[in-house]
A and B are shown apart, each in its own frame.
Chain A
């Protein structure tokens, strides 16, 4: 009934991530200018945009890896600028991140990678930690023998799955996925979408997913946000995106129109 953790300061219906008037830039170049976005609790939000428009930059800014120039970011109803170190740590424990290139620690095995956040935050016996790592490995669809492999011994798809397993190590409430299906074959990508859907349902996750993959958007995402001209120009379901007048959104979803119609 109340299985996903009720966030202390989050009133029901409030967005779990709220970004307002965000400005981010490097040197003279402004990448994001006045961007606002809400992510609702329990949804899978697909985030699209052309290559190099700043999708990864937005993700990294929300995560606090890139400095913003102005604007505000609230996660779990808490302004990240005003959070103390302890509060930040508490928030970091409640989100999981899968980086665009996996970012697995190269000197650790897959199982050890998954156990890194567990060691940091939890008090568990080694046996239980091994079991939990094995469980996560199986949940993301890796074979059990992957546990003892080094990241350099994994294929591209396996790296994605291992990175997802690590992102899920602490049963987070939000997971950020940066292009989870890029570089996977269509069947593998579809499986990955199903996996994210299933995990979202069983674990009650909120998923923020950056993707270029129209199939992912159509099959896995509840809502879609489109980034163009340094802002979020459209947010909505697949059908609403197809209706959106913005030129970039039009050209992106045009090919998908037939498919969306068929579904509708």
Chain B
């Protein structure tokens, strides 16, 4: 639209006690700032007048904002003890002003102090953490019961869903996990060789890489990737179903959302995780062997022979035992966060982030606990 429209203004003439205020111009949204200015200046220039006549005959277009400002103006002047009358409004302007006037003036809600807000935020966070913990434990219990139920009454188990999830988690996740552990295996071996060379102990790089890959690296990398890849997907899927009342729809049909949505996903994770962890170990060792050969000059047969000497079944088992527990933790956190999604798109995003962050954190905590446990039993 052309911007040549006259901007709003006013003109005050005194007639004894009475101030006659002639408004002019376009009282519309486009002139919002100017209207506010007018509304601020006008009362100051009124002097000691006890009565005012607002002559709006000169106003061109008027919309709800203009009408609101006129209404607020007469309200404000009124509370300063000035009697205000709105004059010579066209019928259309009159209806609009009346429509706006019928509604009481809205006062913006007051803010509490920042300090109180901060304290209550801290308190709420701590309470929420406690709730999270309790809910997490009870949810894991619920999942275990549901898995038990699924195993004993396998006729009602959702096999199709399980297979579908297995494909998504294990089959499609495998390449990236293999690639990453391969690269990390290479890097660890290279660093190990550089450091150990100074002591003339290059051959020990096989011990280093073998143990660290089997016991820690493969499972940790695997768990972190799965938390990012599959945990986030679980949360988003379940969360968006929650948002659109699909979970409620399941419930009222007599289906338990835990049975339908959570159990197949978590079982698939529990099955997929050891497989992926095994693949990750192999890829890591392969990468390490490659670097040891090309960079450290350790021939593949020497590498394998030494590996065989160093690695016992318990190193291998120590990594694999952790896998199902990691899977359970990741899956449970992802599903809980999904169920916690509220109605908004923003809450979905927040919950997905929380799911990934919490899952990675808990994976590392669980890994630490296992390390302490294995150390205590000398495993």
Binding site for B on A (CB under 8 A): 1-5, 8, 90, 105-107, 118, 121-125, 127-128, 130-132, 134-136, 138-139, 144, 148, 150-153, 168, 170-171, 198, 201-204
A123-B32 contact in complex given A106-B345, A203-B63, C-beta closer than 8 Å:
yes
Is B18 interfacial (CB 8 A cutoff)? Answer: no
A122 touches B32 (CB 8 A): yes
New contact pairs (4) apart from A134-B106, A168-B64, CB-CB < 8 Å: A3-B93, A124-B36, A132-B68, A152-B343
Residues of chain A within 8 A of B25, CB atoms compared: none
A258 and B72 CA atoms in complex are apart in Å by 48
B64 touches A132 (CB 8 A): yes
A106 and B92 CA atoms in complex are apart in Å by 36
The 10 A-B residue pairs with the shortest CB-CB distance, nearest first, are A152-B343, A107-B346, A134-B106, A106-B344, A124-B32, A171-B63, A3-B92, A107-B344, A138-B103, A202-B99
Residues of chain A within 8 A of B92, CB atoms compared: 1, 3, 204
A152 touches B64 (CB 8 A): no
CB proximity of B241 to chain A, nearest CB, Å: 14
B interface residues, how many (CB within 8 angstroms) = 35
A90-B103 contact in complex given A132-B68, A170-B29, C-beta closer than 8 Å:
no
Of the candidates B29, B93, B99, the one having the most CB atoms from chain A within 10 angstroms of its own CB is B29
Q: Which of A90, A134, A198 contacts B99 (CB 8 A)?
A: A198
A175 and B28 CA atoms in complex are apart in Å by 18
B326-345 contacts to A (CB < 8 Å): 342-345
Residues of chain A within 8 A of B345, CB atoms compared: 105-107
Interface class of chain A by DSSP:
helix
Residues of chain B within 8 A of A203, CB atoms compared: 63-64, 96
Residues of chain B within 8 A of A131, CB atoms compared: 68, 72, 105-106, 108
Q: Which of A1, A124, A127 contacts B90 (CB 8 A)?
A: A1
A138 and B100 CA atoms in complex are apart in Å by 9
B344 touches A5 (CB 8 A): no
A107-B60 contact in complex given A171-B65, A203-B96, C-beta closer than 8 Å:
no
CB proximity of B87 to chain A, nearest CB, Å: 16
A150 touches B343 (CB 8 A): yes
Residues of chain A within 8 A of B68, CB atoms compared: 131-132, 135
- Closest partner residue, chain B, to A129 (CB atom): B32
- Closest partner residue, chain A, to B5 (CB atom): A5
A150 and B243 CA atoms in complex are apart in Å by 13
A90 touches B1 (CB 8 A): yes
Q: Which of A144, A148, A151 contacts B344 (CB 8 A)?
A: A151
A257 and B104 CA atoms in complex are apart in Å by 43
Is B30 interfacial (CB 8 A cutoff)? Answer: yes
A135-B61 contact in complex given A150-B344, A152-B343, C-beta closer than 8 Å:
no
CB proximity of A6 to chain B, nearest CB, Å: 9
- Closest partner residue, chain B, to A125 (CB atom): B36
The number of residue pairs between A and B whose CB atoms lie closer than 8 Å in the complex comes to: 95
B95 touches A202 (CB 8 A): yes
Is B112 interfacial (CB 8 A cutoff)? Answer: no
Residues of chain B within 8 A of A3, CB atoms compared: 61-62, 90, 92-93, 96
B95 touches A135 (CB 8 A): no
Instruction: Indicate with 1 or 0, residue by residue over B90-117, a CB within 8 angstroms of chain A CB atoms.
Output: 1011011001100101101100000000
- Closest partner residue, chain A, to B98 (CB atom): A202
Binding site for A on B (CB under 8 A): 1-2, 28-30, 32-33, 36, 60-65, 68, 72, 90, 92-93, 95-96, 99-100, 103, 105-106, 108-109, 243, 342-347
A118 and B28 CA atoms in complex are apart in Å by 13
Residues of chain B within 8 A of A121, CB atoms compared: 29
A202-B96 contact in complex given A131-B72, A171-B29, A171-B65, C-beta closer than 8 Å:
yes
B33 touches A125 (CB 8 A): yes
Residues of chain B within 8 A of A144, CB atoms compared: 106
B95 touches A123 (CB 8 A): no
- Closest partner residue, chain A, to B93 (CB atom): A3
**Can you list 10 A-B pairs with a CB-CB distance of less than 8 A?**
A3-B62, A107-B346, A125-B33, A131-B106, A131-B108, A135-B64, A135-B68, A148-B109, A151-B343, A171-B63
A123 touches B106 (CB 8 A): no
- Closest partner residue, chain B, to A127 (CB atom): B108
A96 and B106 CA atoms in complex are apart in Å by 24
A8 touches B1 (CB 8 A): yes
Q: Which of A8, A122, A148, A168 contacts B2 (CB 8 A)?
A: A8
Of the candidates A136, A151, A153, A202, the one having the most CB atoms from chain B within 10 angstroms of its own CB is A202
Residues of chain A within 8 A of B28, CB atoms compared: 171
Residues of chain A within 8 A of B2, CB atoms compared: 8
CB proximity of A96 to chain B, nearest CB, Å: 12
B61 touches A5 (CB 8 A): yes
- Closest partner residue, chain B, to A105 (CB atom): B345
CB proximity of A157 to chain B, nearest CB, Å: 17
A152 and B62 CA atoms in complex are apart in Å by 35
A135 and B64 CA atoms in complex are apart in Å by 9
Residues of chain A within 8 A of B96, CB atoms compared: 3, 202-203
A2 touches B60 (CB 8 A): yes
Residues of chain B within 8 A of A168, CB atoms compared: 64
Residues of chain B within 8 A of A124, CB atoms compared: 29, 32-33, 36, 65
Residues of chain B within 8 A of A128, CB atoms compared: 32, 36, 65
- Closest partner residue, chain A, to B63 (CB atom): A171
A121 and B1 CA atoms in complex are apart in Å by 13
